Amino acid sequence: MTDKASLLFRDIRQGNSRALARGISYIENEVTDFFAQLQDQPPFPGSIIGITGPPGAGKSTLVDGMIGAFIDAKKKIAVLCVDPSSFFHSGALLGDRIRMSEWYNHPDVFIRSLSSRGTLGGLHPGIVNITELLKAGGFDHILIETVGVGQNEIEIAALADITLVVLVPEAGDEIQAMKAGLMEIGDIFVVNKSDRPDADLFARQLRLMLSRPGREPIVMKTIASEKKGLQELIRQLQQQLQQPFTSDKKYWLLTERALQLISRRRMQDIDREAMTQKIRELSAAGNFNLYQFIAGY
Ligand SMILES: Nc1nc2c(ncn2[C@@H]2O[C@H](COP(=O)(O)OP(=O)(O)OP(=O)(O)O)[C@@H](O)[C@H]2O)c(=O)[nH]1
Ligand SMILES: [Mg+2]
């Protein structure tokens, strides 16, 4: 496998998108993790942009428009659509495929959807790794779209250099509910569907809510379906990416990424089915104790 993995990785580094697609499938299916190859990778010069927000806020439409703006600027773009709920609703990503269809065959655009197969509510276990593989693919920007459902935002933020939180004007209650999650991780807040009434009022309320002493939140309005506000958004994005990280956020995020990989590596020898079988046997014998059980691992 190592030879095969190295050859595939070499093709990925040369920008071969078929090799990249195959490499991602290898990670998804746990054929290989490319750890050996990724150890020799130089730091990624591009940026990873997270796009999150409630279902239907217009994330994919916005991503579609952003791809266009980046392609105009002669950039190479990868898009990863991660749907944490598709574990339960398969096929949910079809909409993204249709929305971004004009980009599917563009030579400088790579689009891939991932479900969170195997983890309830969490992210695909290989996602950190898949992101690393995309970095090797020579893209200028990697966009990661995910539905913010109140529990996975932190994981997405851990993957991204900068996170856009996409909201819509009528999301007043949602904002309150998501405050702890979405609001903490956002670097730029996008009020999409600003063609709707109350967009200005909503943006003002949002700004007020997010204000902290000494820190002005970045709130922008867009109409993704009409490609309005995109240029300003991209400009702001680029400006933010150039800022040195003033907080410890970057180190915190890298720690988060490292922890995900370590926990995955430590778990890789555990056979889930064998574990279930053992639990079944112990339970049937009437002496299952969870803490005694995990002490043996
Ligand atoms: N009026 C209006 N509609 C929009 C705008 N942006 C997107 N939409 C519409 O909103 C709907 C949802 O858009 P998507 O881009 O699929 O939203 P999403 O956030 O990716 O949705 P999920 O991935 O399912 O969470 C689509 O019908 C879009 O055409 C906008 O600025 N104004
Ligand atoms: Mg979407």
Which residue puts its alpha carbon closest to atom 21 of ligand 1?
A: 56
The answer on pLDDT for 58 being more than 70 is yes
pLDDT, position 214: 77
Domain residue spans in the chain?
A: 1-38, 42-243
CA separation for the pair 181, 179 (Å, rounded)? 6
What are the tens digits of pLDDT across the range 216-244?
A: 899 999 999 999 999 999 999 999 988 87
Distances (CA, A) of 117 to 55, 58, 109, 122, 124: 19, 24, 25, 9, 6
Can you give the pLDDT at residue 190?
96
Q: Which residues lie with the beta carbon below 6 Å from any ligand 1 atom?
A: 55-61, 95, 99, 147, 192-193, 195, 223-225
If you take atom 32 of ligand 1, which residue's CA is the nearest one?
193
CB-CB contact of 114 with 146 (8 Å): no
Task: Quickly list H helices, 14-167.
Answer: 17-28, 35-38, 59-72, 94-99, 127-136, 153-159
Ligand 1 centroid to Cα of residue 247, in Å, is 33
More confident residue, 136 or 267: 136
Paired sense of beta strands 219-221 and 141-147, if any: unpaired
Q: Indicate the pLDDT class of residue 106, thresholds 50, 70 and 90.
A: very high
Residue 143 predicted with pLDDT over 70? yes
Please, what is the average pLDDT of the chain?
84
Which residues lie closer than 8 Å to 201 by C-beta, 6 or more apart?
169
Cα–Cα distance measured from residue 153 to residue 253, given in angstroms and rounded to the nearest whole number? 12
The pLDDT value given to residue 150: 58
| Residue nearest (by alpha carbon) to ligand 1 atom 9 | 58
Among the listed ranges 39-43, 49-53, 184-188, 254-258, which one has the minimum average pLDDT value?
254-258
- Give the mutation target among 51, 59, 61, 96 for probing the ligand 1 site: most ligand atoms within 8 A of CB: 61
pLDDT average, residue stretch 2-10: 90
DSSP label of 176: H
Q: Residue 50's beta-bridge partner residues?
A: 144, 163
- CATH of 42-243 given 1.10.3720.10, 3.40.50.300, 3.30.930.10, 3.40.470.10: 3.40.50.300
Determine phi and psi for 92, rounding to 5 degrees. Answer: -65, -20
pTM of structure = 0.84
Residue nearest to atom 14 of ligand 1 (CA): 58
Give long-range contacts, CB 8 A cutoff, 24+ apart: 243-250. 250/161
What does the pLDDT read at residue 128?
83
Task: Give Cα separations from 174 to 47, 182, 236 (angstroms).
Answer: 29, 10, 25
Distance 128 CA to ligand 2 centre (A): 20
For the CA of 54, the nearest atom of ligand 1: 25
The yes-or-no verdict on residue 6 having pLDDT over 80 is yes
**pLDDT band for position 91 (50/70/90)?**
very low
Q: Which ligand is nearest to the CA of 80?
A: 2
| Residue of minimum CA distance from atom 7 in ligand 1 | 58
Residue 273 gets the label, from left (phi > 0), alpha (psi -120 to 50) or beta, of alpha
Ligand nearest to the CA of 167: 1
User: Sorting pLDDT into bands at 50, 70 and 90, what band is 180?
Assistant: low
Secondary structure string (H, E, C) spanning 95-113: HHHHHCHHHCCCCCEEEEE
Closest-CA residue, ligand 1 atom 2, reads: 193
Q: How far from 143 is each of 85, 101, 213, 220, 269, CA to CA, in Å?
A: 19, 16, 30, 18, 32
